[in-house]
């Protein structure tokens, strides 16, 4: 039985600046529609009168600026109305960003002033970073901007599967049900769900992504003026903090939004105090943000991978393909077998270049791993190339030297060069 949830068709009246917070249940459908007034879900207005069907487990809020009546049908894990939200402060940030975009647009010839705001959202896990990023993007898109969304959160990314850093232009407010369209994201595959697996490699990818975007912006005044919104990981201590600073530098962030953490905010203010063009702004965390423990997070990663192959509403059918071992070249980045200490001169430390490309021979170790298909045609470009998509290894036949994998579509892969990390998935 659901706790705090309900199962009947019912109407909820929302006063101005209030929100209905909902957690869809894991196993029964939920739909909702707007009866009167206006309302939005994470920055995207919902159409009047039309039923929206929500996937299982989705956690969201229907917020109204001026008042609305919502009708809900189906059971929820929880749903309640909240009249205290940080939305006013969030929309104020949007207004400031909008002003900066207009200024950038007004001076297209100057390379400095034609750059719109580069916003980076930082804070601990479950502080609402992804949600705030999404609102800022949707509000901007609603006004006709085409901001670039950059997602550096390899643990729970919103653009593609976990283990990646990615970017995509946002041309329309983000669909509350479907999420970010998967059409043309720029994706770099790290292959692990925590950067500590290979810090240097992670930094290389962040840099590659930033450089690629820089090149795109230089030829596109519209995207340049629209700026970017960068979502980050929840790891903010020690090396995690270093990586935040690295991201701020690499992307030349001009606005740093710190969610729910005094300490992080004052640390960043202090370290960036000599940069007059960088604003560090503290924002309140929403009481609606749902905390997820490690297990829930791990499960969410699995759902995300499933969604890549089967679609958000289970509406895609991936293809199973069988190829010869010799048809694929699989690589791992960094680490690799090191020379044993005994084989080294006395006093020498075994070293392994963290960004070295290491060929991987096909074995049953690859079973249940998710591999990325590189765009690189040549071996030496693999580390700096983005990826076309992913495959999932379902069988290894050592005897016949055949590998069976799941891919989103049939036919030959765009490249024979694949990258493997530690990203696994058990299909269920």
Site string for ligand ADP, 226-265 (x = CB under 6 A): --------x-------------------------------
* C-beta of 115 vs 131, nearer to ligand ADP: 131
Binding region for ligand ADP (CB under 6 A) out of 120-128, 159-167, 219-227, 263-271: 120-128
Least spacing, CB of residue 290 vs ligand ADP, in Å = 4
Binding region for ligand ADP (CB under 6 A) out of 28-36, 118-126, 142-150, 221-229: 118-126
Residues 6+ apart with CB under 8 A from 212: 167, 186, 386
Beta bridge partners of 71: 11, 33
**Contacts to ligand ADP from residues 40-79, by CB under 6 A:** 59-61
* C-beta of 97 vs 259, nearer to ligand ADP: 259
Alpha-carbon distance 87 to 136, whole Å?
11
Q: Which residue in 127, 148, 160, 226 binds ligand ADP (CB under 6 A)?
A: 127
Beta bridge partners of 40: 45, 63
Least spacing, CB of residue 162 vs ligand ADP, in Å = 13
* C-beta of 127 vs 321, nearer to ligand ADP: 127
Alpha-carbon distance 156 to 233, whole Å?
8
Least spacing, CB of residue 62 vs ligand ADP, in Å = 9
Q: Quick check: 126 binds ligand ADP (CB under 6 A)?
A: yes
Q: Which residue in 21, 201, 224, 332 binds ligand ADP (CB under 6 A)?
A: 21
CA neighbor of 119 nearest in space, from 103, 142, 135:
135
**Contacts to ligand ADP from residues 276-305, by CB under 6 A:** 286, 288-290
CA neighbor of 426 nearest in space, from 382, 392, 377:
392
Q: Quick check: 129 binds ligand ADP (CB under 6 A)?
A: yes
Helices (H) and strands (E) in the chain, counts: 7, 23
- Closest residue to bound ligand ADP by CB: 288
Other beta carbons within 10 Å of 316: 13
424, 368 contact by CB (below 8 A): yes
**Strand 118-122's sheet: what is its strand order?**
186-189, 164-169, 148-151, 228-231, 118-122, 255-259, 279-283
* C-beta of 128 vs 173, nearer to ligand ADP: 128
Least spacing, CB of residue 82 vs ligand ADP, in Å = 7
* C-beta of 160 vs 417, nearer to ligand ADP: 160
Alpha-carbon distance 232 to 377, whole Å?
30
Binding region for ligand ADP (CB under 6 A) out of 129-137, 266-274, 306-314, 318-326: 129-137
Q: What are phi and psi for residue 150, nearest 5 degrees?
A: -115, 125
Q: Quick check: 207 binds ligand ADP (CB under 6 A)?
A: no
Residue 377, token pair as written in the block: 């045609």
393, 369 contact by CB (below 8 A): yes
* C-beta of 129 vs 282, nearer to ligand ADP: 129
* C-beta of 243 vs 393, nearer to ligand ADP: 243
Alpha-carbon distance 233 to 373, whole Å?
24
Binding region for ligand ADP (CB under 6 A) out of 64-72, 119-127, 305-313, 343-351: 119-127
* C-beta of 259 vs 396, nearer to ligand ADP: 259
* C-beta of 236 vs 413, nearer to ligand ADP: 236
* C-beta of 300 vs 323, nearer to ligand ADP: 300
Please give the size of the binding site for ligand ADP, defined by CB under 6 A. Answer: 18
| Residue 268 host element (H or E) | helix 262-271
Alpha-carbon distance 261 to 250, whole Å?
23
Q: Quick check: 157 binds ligand ADP (CB under 6 A)?
A: no
Q: How far apart are the first and last CA of the chain?
A: 24
77, 25 contact by CB (below 8 A): yes
Q: What are the CA-CA distances from residue 363 to residues 51, 377, 398, 402, 419 (Å)?
A: 49, 24, 7, 10, 15
Alpha-carbon distance 62 to 363, whole Å?
49
Least spacing, CB of residue 226 vs ligand ADP, in Å = 22
Kindly list the residues in this chain that would bind ligand ADP in the complex (CB under 6 A).
19, 21, 59-61, 123, 125-131, 234, 286, 288-290
């Amino acid at each position: 039985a659901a706790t705090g949830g309900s199962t009947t068709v019912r109407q909820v009246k929302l006063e101005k600046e209030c929100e209905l917070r909902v957690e869809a249940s894991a196993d029964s459908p939920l739909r909702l529609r707007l009866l009167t007034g206006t309302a939005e879900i994470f920055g995207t207005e919902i159409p009047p009168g039309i039923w929206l069907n929500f996937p299982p487990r989705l956690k969201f809020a229907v917020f109204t600026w001026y008042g609305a009546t919502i009708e809900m049908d189906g059971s929820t894990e929880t749903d309640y109305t909240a009249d205290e939200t940080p939305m006013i402060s969030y929309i104020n940030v949007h207004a400031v960003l909008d002003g900066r975009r207009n200024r950038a647009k007004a001076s297209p010839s100057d390379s400095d002033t034609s750059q719109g705001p580069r916003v980076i959202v930082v804070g601990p896990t479950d502080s609402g970073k992804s949600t705030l990023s999404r609102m800022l993007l949707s509000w901007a898109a609603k006004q006709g901007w085409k901001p670039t969304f950059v997602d550096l959160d390899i643990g729970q990314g919103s653009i593609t599967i976990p283990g990646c850093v990615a970017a995509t232009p946002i041309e329309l407010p983000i669909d509350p049900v479907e999420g970010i369209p998967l059409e043309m994201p720029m994706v770099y595959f790290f292959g692990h769900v925590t950067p500590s697996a290979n810090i240097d490699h992670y930094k290389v990818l962040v840099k590659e992504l930033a450089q690629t975007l820089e090149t795109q912006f230089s030829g596109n005044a519209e995207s340049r003026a629209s700026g970017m919104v960068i979502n980050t990981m929840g790891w903010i201590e020690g090396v995690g903090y270093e990586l935040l600073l690295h991201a701020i530098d690499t992307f030349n962030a001009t606005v740093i939004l710190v969610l729910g953490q005094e300490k992080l905010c004052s640390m960043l203010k202090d370290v960036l105090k000599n940069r007059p063009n960088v604003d560090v702004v503290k924002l309140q965390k929403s009481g609606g943000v749902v905390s997820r423990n490690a297990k829930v997070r791990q499960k969410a990663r699995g759902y995300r991978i499933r969604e890549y192959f089967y679609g958000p509403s289970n509406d895609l059918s991936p293809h199973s393909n069988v190829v010869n071992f010799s048809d694929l070249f699989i690589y791992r980045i960094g680490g690799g077998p090191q020379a044993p200490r005994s084989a080294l001169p006395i006093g020498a430390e075994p070293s392994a270049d963290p960004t070295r490309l290491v060929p991987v021979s096909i074995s049953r170790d690859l079973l249940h791993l998710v591999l990325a298909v590189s765009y690189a045609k040549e071996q030496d470009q693999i580390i700096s190339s983005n990826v076309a998509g992913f495959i999932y290894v379902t069988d290894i036949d050592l005897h016949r030297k055949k590998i069976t994998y799941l891919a989103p579509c049939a036919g030959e892969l765009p490249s024979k060069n694949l990258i493997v990390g530690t990203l696994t998935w058990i299909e269920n």
